[in-house]
Amino acid sequence: MGVIVALPKNVTLAPDEVAVTVVVPAPLGCNLNCAFCFIRARREANPSHIVLQAEDYVEFIESMVVRRNVALVSLQGYEPLLPESWSISKVILQKARELGVRTALVTNGTHLAERIDELVALGVGGITVSLDSDQAAPHDLTRRTEGAFAKTIVGIRRAAASDLRDRMIIASVLQRHKAHYLTGMPDLLAELGLRYWVVTPVYKVGLSIDHATVEPPADVVKELTTFHREALSRGISMLVDDEFETLIRNAGEAIDLAKLRLRRMSRLNQTVRLSPDGSCAIGGDILHRSDGSGLVWNPRNEEASIFAGRVAELV
């Protein structure tokens, strides 16, 4: 399971602030086929169920800014930099910048190289790039797509040589029995001059937040602690992504907070997630499957301002 909210570095929400994360439509589906895809697990981006268009996302964000203090707008995939998705991603980033809202996105990196100049011009505040090994074979196996590593590493290298370098986070998924995939990551980041690494343990998405688990937590914590020590020795700042406190809830006393730095959502219920099918999840509901039983927006039947008002009452 990859990064869920795409938090940039050093973002914490104040009591009156809201984070809005949007899943950008991919009409042709994703270009990768990751086994642990959070988007697919939530069933929130089926190409045949796209309801929202670029103008709908823009109107929703504008309406939310009127009602609440929106501190962050972040973009998720499938993949926001795909050719067929970029036009929508770009419009959202432009609007957020006009409104003075910080932006971030998470990308699989395969189209990063061709978007660098535009991302710099748009003033994107944080870019999280997924990379699950320093070697091609394990990464491509994880992403179930031959050649994915080659494209991603080109994008990362070009971004590391641009004004995006200090805004980049490299994110890796720690899979059960595959910790060896990540052993070379600290060296690679040091070589690239990148200093921020986020590692997320794979966990399962259930029908309720109580069913989201990390197994077995003791082994995961041991592996994460080793990576943290190795990263520090190379000047890399490593965080363990636990945005929804899934790891700390399952691992409990196994976690030594003096040895691990956890990245958690400071105010979980102030996070809103809008998906292409019009479904909207808040807080812990983001870990549920999108089944149409919660908040759902059809912009043809309801104005953005009215729907945003309904959402604002809940965050």
For the stretch 165-205, pLDDT in tens is: 999 999 999 988 899 999 999 999 999 999 999 998 876 54
Q: How confident is the model at residue 209 (pLDDT cuts 50, 70, 90)?
A: very low
Lowest mean pLDDT among 20-24, 33-37, 123-127, 294-298: 33-37
Please give the pLDDT value at position 206.
47
Domain ranges of the chain: 33-265
Q: Which of 152, 157, 191, 155 is nearest to 172 (CA)?
A: 152
Length reported for the chain: 315
CATH of domain 33-265: 3.20.20.70
Write out pLDDT tens, residues 4-13: 666 676 677 8
Lowest mean pLDDT among 116-125, 161-170, 262-271: 262-271
Taking the model in full, what pTM does it have? Answer: 0.91
Write out pLDDT tens, residues 99-111: 999 999 999 999 9
How far are the Cα atoms of 45, 195, 260, 269, 282 from residue 313, in angstroms, in the given order? 25, 39, 36, 12, 11
Asked whether residue 238 carries a pLDDT value surpassing 70, the answer given is yes
Query: Is residue 125 within 8 Å of residue 94, measured between CB atoms?
Result: no
Query: Is residue 76 within 8 Å of residue 22, measured between CB atoms?
Result: yes
Please give the pLDDT value at position 204.
55
Identify the sign of the CA torsion 138, 143, 148, 153.
negative
